Amino acid sequence: MGKLVTEMLKGTLEGIVLAILSGRSAYGYEITAWLRDQGFSDIAEGTIYALLVRVEQRGLVDVEKVPSEKGPPRKVYSLNAQGREYLEEFWTTWSFLAGRLEQLREGGK
Amino acid sequence: MGKLVTEMLKGTLEGIVLAILSGRSAYGYEITAWLRDQGFSDIAEGTIYALLVRVEQRGLVDVEKVPSEKGPPRKVYSLNAQGREYLEEFWTTWSFLAGRLEQLREGGK
DNA sequence: TACCAGTACCTAGCAACACGAAGTAGCTGA
DNA sequence: TCAGCTACTTCGTGTTGCTAGGTACTGGTA
């Protein structure tokens, strides 16, 4: 979409990915494809992989290497307890921000 | 509030400030105080000033120097036509993002 | 066999942005 | 005089997403 989305994704993309993982386990390539399908048309592959490495290092997800019939083995990520806790925090923060924004939008009309 | 908000503000703070300016003209110190009042308790002053310089350079706001009785002259910013256009784009992008997030939140339960 | 497309992951360098910390400057009241 | 509020500025840092490469495995096709 453009620069605006890119900047807005900073700080939210992590939550988005964790939210996806809260529903089901998934691997990088899959997540990227899904996001592109959902309208984040120009999400960069590298971005997702780097993000996954980050959340893994922070201990928010568990990883399992699963062989694929169509290429190299997949690194399947799943949200663990710590990750769920973090995701809760994320939603709280998001709600706060979204609330302020909504208020501003109303007031601005 | 913490690191989460800080990261989320990247990309949205600009829109927030422009939205404020769409309602009324304001100067940096005033905007900072207002934001802190609204719950953005630890917004850094420097952040707002830098942001205002940025949007001015992009031609989204007009500036007027107004003397103050209580200190140095104020730089009063007001949203111009280009700024309003940009703000519209911001709201569009925000809506898109908020929509996706809301959907993820529903699905994740 | 050689090559390409699709799958799947990784990395290095860059730009944008918010923050922390410090500084400048003007005014008022104790 | 000096502390405290008002008001703006600047520099260095950390985090983050993007660009642009690269590696590696598979299957189909010329």
Q: What is the pLDDT of residues B12-55, one digit of tens each?
A: 999 999 999 999 999 999 999 999 999 999 899 999 999 999 99
Q: How far apart are CA B41 and CA A79, in angstroms?
A: 31
Burial of A69: CB neighbours in 10 Å, binned 0-12, 13-18, 19+: exposed
Percent of chain B with pLDDT over 90: 93
Out of B39, B98, B100, whose CB is closest to A100? Answer: B39
Q: How far apart are CA A99 and CA B105, in angstroms?
A: 15
> A62 — phi, psi (to 5°)?
-105, 150
- Is the CB atom of residue A37 positioned under 7 angstroms from any atom of strand C? no
Q: Are B5 and A97 in contact (CB under 8 A)?
A: yes
Q: Which two tokens stand for residue B26?
A: 């304001």
The predicted pLDDT at position B1 comes to: 66
Cα A29 → chain centroid: 13
Taking a contact as any Cβ pair under 8 Å apart, which residues of chain B between 38 and 57 contact chain A?
A: 38-40
Q: What is the residue whose two structure tokens read 């399947």?
A: A76
B106 in A contact zone (CB under 8 Å): no
Which residues, 6+ apart, have CB-to-CB distance to A43 below 8 Å?
A32, A35, A36
Q: What residues does each domain of chain A span? A: 3-107
Class of domain A3-107: mainly alpha
